[in-house]
Chains A and B, each alone.
Chain A
Amino acid sequence: MAKDPAPISFIQDVARGRVSSARLRRRHRCGTVSAMPVPVPKTYKLFVGGKFPRSESGRSFQPTSNPAINVARGSRKDLRDAVVAARAGLAVWSGSAAYLRGQILYRLAEMLESRRDAMQRELQLGGLSAPLAKRELDTAISLTIWYAGLCDKVQSLLGSQNAVQGPFFNFSMVEPTGVVGVIAPDSPSLVGVLALTLPLLAGGNSAVVLVSESAPFAGLALGEVCASSDVPAGAINVLSGLRSELAPQFASHRDLDGLLVAGAPDAALTQSAADNCKRVRFCYLSAADWSKVERLRSLTWVEPFVELKTLWHPVAQ
């Protein structure tokens, strides 16, 4: 079914996010876009270990915000691969100097800024209006910078030197919990991913993130931003798919050390996660809260996913 090339103005509109998803779908469907080169739509793929695979299952799904687009539908085995990648990424990420991690996250903010147009388009594909998309992007960048600057403070803020009895030097240092699974909220689709993942990254963890089911575009595009931000392969892994299918898999995976879920506490998930004593937390915010950047910046969000290690050392000649 041949399509006419779209007019340049339309392509520009698309790029500026001025085209509603409905209109875009119509254009594609009717094949009325003409007088311009055949557009090159993006394939929405997963981001695992620094690479962009399709789902090993070969499946895709059509997000409700934009059913015209096929998005890779991650499977249990994709999660398995992502956890393996995240385990490798953890070694590199947590082994990097906190200062370097801060610089890399700051680079992530820079990349978001320089890809504003593209990211805004992804948000609009997910159903946001242009002003709302811009606002979300502003929040995303602000949030990223805040956590970038936090990386090399976590140790000082949460660690301590402890005054114990006897000739001992005693101190407590923080270390990442490990590989943490994130079930991001359905909305906001970009800030939701960042707000839950950045505290983990600031604490030195690696993450496997399941992005918004209805609007996965911006979340998946975040993988592309990471790929150009010196984020080590595997430190962040992004999956898309059906939450109902994948969330229980996250909970039961024995090599995930923690689980951070957007939404109200879910007994079934925690019960399953108890199998390996996962650290489980839920992030239950109202739509209004999600839009307040100051509500999303908190050391208390870092705390549940760091481990405290206390060292004893004798003091003597």
Chain B
Amino acid sequence: MPHSLSPVEFRVPPVCAVALETRAADLATRSLKKQAKLQGLRLAIAMMDLTTLEGMDSPGKVRQLCQKAMRPLPQRSDVPSCAAVCVYPDLVETAVEALRGSTVQVASVATGFPAGRTDRATKLREVQLAVAAGATEIDMVIDRGAFLSGRYGKVYDEICAVKEACGAAHLKVILETGELKTYDNIRRACRIALLAGGDFLKTSTGKVTPASTLPVVLLMLEAARDHYLETGRIVGVKAAGGIRTSKDALRYLVLVNETCGDLWMTPQWFRFGASSLLNDVLLQLEKDRTGRYQRPVDFSAD
């Protein structure tokens, strides 16, 4: 485990909010036609962490979700499977069982998701259990209380500890950008997560509004890009929460494509955390295949 860093190492360049938002809005005007659109939509599916994180989740629902993740449109072989299914720790086993033999990964939220308001030992124990149950990806939440009170070292140490507990599992660090509020905070949180060894920067739990936004993801992509150029280590980015339409997904992909480039244009290094997005993408793909506008009722809910 790396030693604790001093606050000076968490220093980051300031972020000019208006200019950042301007750039994100500019990229959002990209017009994607024909092949580019189809390819983008398929890639979006392949990058999707199909997610269910509700108190009322049941093994049955998770199994259905896994089916959907493996074969989003059973009648169409050219539609790829999703990247992962993302569940609470107690449903990891169910998901692992359901996905056996597929390429779809099992991701588990952990560390007192979504608020993270519990002691470190409990958080680490939760991570260990999820990994033991077969999760290959862990989505942790950072300690926003510590972050917002300026105890950056504590945030850093905790990510390091969770990373260690993950073992071989990939660690996604949820910054919960909706609670960090400012871009400067988000940029600093990125820095902390990058230095602490996180494998992914993830925007949100999906439980806080605003969740993922284009400027926030642009900022995280820039942080990941700069970290790669500095250290040679690629860290992924996951946009989660609030992404519901194909148009949204394509806009995020444009950000990736024009900020970080080809290295990130893969499910390994860019993900969407979403639940309702998949059906809208499928609807668009069918529309493009058939030339007819589709209706939601023709696509399975889970």
* Contact, CB under 8 Å: B19 / A314: yes
* Contact, CB under 8 Å: B182 / A314: no
B182: chain A residues at CB < 8 Å are 317
Q: Binary interface profile of B, 43-71, with partner A (CB < 8 Å = 1, else 0)?
A: 00000000000000000000000000000
Please report the C-alpha to C-alpha distance between residue A168 and residue B17 in the assembled complex, in whole angstroms: 12
**A40: interface (CB < 8 Å):** no
* Contact, CB under 8 Å: B181 / A316: no
Which of the residues B16, B18, B181, B183 comes within 8 Å of A168, measured between beta carbons? Answer: B18
* Contact, CB under 8 Å: A315 / B181: no
* Contact, CB under 8 Å: A167 / B181: no
User: Which residue of the partner chain A has the closest CB to B19?
Assistant: A314
Can you give 15 contacting A-B residue pairs, CB < 8 Å? A166-B18, A167-B18, A168-B18, A314-B16, A314-B17, A314-B18, A314-B19, A315-B18, A316-B16, A316-B17, A316-B18, A317-B17, A317-B181, A317-B182, A317-B183
A166: chain B residues at CB < 8 Å are 18
User: Which residue of the partner chain B has the closest CB to A315?
Assistant: B18
User: Which residue of the partner chain B has the closest CB to A168?
Assistant: B18
Please report the C-alpha to C-alpha distance between residue A317 and residue B183 in the assembled complex, in whole angstroms: 8
Question: Could you count the A-B residue pairs with CB atoms below 8 Å apart for me: how many are there?
Answer: 15
Q: Binary interface profile of B, 167-188, with partner A (CB < 8 Å = 1, else 0)?
A: 0000000000000011100000
A168: chain B residues at CB < 8 Å are 18
In the assembled complex, how far is the CB of residue A52 from the closest CB belonging to chain B, in whole angstroms? 54
B19: chain A residues at CB < 8 Å are 314
Q: Binary interface profile of A, 289-317, with partner B (CB < 8 Å = 1, else 0)?
A: 00000000000000000000000001111
User: Which residue of the partner chain B has the closest CB to A317?
Assistant: B182
Q: Counting chain A CB atoms within 10 Å of each CB, which of B17, B19, B183 scores highest?
A: B17
Which B7-23 residues sit within 8 Å CB-CB of chain A?
16-19
A167: chain B residues at CB < 8 Å are 18
**A-B residue pairs, 9 tightest by C-beta:** A316-B17, A314-B18, A317-B182, A316-B18, A167-B18, A317-B17, A314-B16, A314-B19, A317-B181
Please report the C-alpha to C-alpha distance between residue A167 and residue B16 in the assembled complex, in whole angstroms: 12
Which A161-186 residues sit within 8 Å CB-CB of chain B?
166-168
A317: chain B residues at CB < 8 Å are 17, 181-183
Number of interface residues of A (CB under 8 A): 7
Q: A167-B18, A316-B16 are in contact. List 9 more A-B contacts (CB 8 A).
A: A166-B18, A314-B17, A314-B18, A314-B19, A315-B18, A316-B17, A316-B18, A317-B17, A317-B183
A314: chain B residues at CB < 8 Å are 16-19
At the interface, is chain A mostly helix, strand, loop or mixed? loop
In the assembled complex, how far is the CB of residue B189 from the closest CB belonging to chain A, in whole angstroms? 15
User: Which residue of the partner chain A has the closest CB to B182?
Assistant: A317
Which B145-187 residues sit within 8 Å CB-CB of chain A?
181-183
Please report the C-alpha to C-alpha distance between residue A167 and residue B25 in the assembled complex, in whole angstroms: 14
User: Which residue of the partner chain B has the closest CB to A167?
Assistant: B18
Which A135-190 residues sit within 8 Å CB-CB of chain B?
166-168
Please report the C-alpha to C-alpha distance between residue A23 and residue B175 in the assembled complex, in whole angstroms: 96
B18: chain A residues at CB < 8 Å are 166-168, 314-316
A316: chain B residues at CB < 8 Å are 16-18
Please report the C-alpha to C-alpha distance between residue A317 and residue B14 in the assembled complex, in whole angstroms: 11
B181: chain A residues at CB < 8 Å are 317
Please report the C-alpha to C-alpha distance between residue A317 and residue B181 in the assembled complex, in whole angstroms: 9
In the assembled complex, how far is the CB of residue A61 from the closest CB belonging to chain B, in whole angstroms? 62
In the assembled complex, how far is the CB of residue B49 from the closest CB belonging to chain A, in whole angstroms? 29
User: Which residue of the partner chain B has the closest CB to A166?
Assistant: B18
In the assembled complex, how far is the CB of residue A312 from the closest CB belonging to chain B, in whole angstroms? 10
Q: Binary interface profile of B, 182-202, with partner A (CB < 8 Å = 1, else 0)?
A: 110000000000000000000
In the assembled complex, how far is the CB of residue B215 from the closest CB belonging to chain A, in whole angstroms? 11
Q: Counting chain B CB atoms within 10 Å of each CB, which of A167, A314, A315, A316 scores highest?
A: A316
In the assembled complex, how far is the CB of residue A314 from the closest CB belonging to chain B, in whole angstroms? 4
Please report the C-alpha to C-alpha distance between residue A196 and residue B19 in the assembled complex, in whole angstroms: 46
Please report the C-alpha to C-alpha distance between residue A93 and residue B238 in the assembled complex, in whole angstroms: 58
Please report the C-alpha to C-alpha distance between residue A167 and residue B18 in the assembled complex, in whole angstroms: 7
Please report the C-alpha to C-alpha distance between residue A166 and residue B17 in the assembled complex, in whole angstroms: 13
In the assembled complex, how far is the CB of residue B300 from the closest CB belonging to chain A, in whole angstroms? 42
Please report the C-alpha to C-alpha distance between residue A314 and residue B17 in the assembled complex, in whole angstroms: 8
Please report the C-alpha to C-alpha distance between residue A95 and residue B59 in the assembled complex, in whole angstroms: 76
A315: chain B residues at CB < 8 Å are 18
User: Which residue of the partner chain A has the closest CB to B185?
Assistant: A317
User: Which residue of the partner chain A has the closest CB to B184?
Assistant: A317
B183: chain A residues at CB < 8 Å are 317
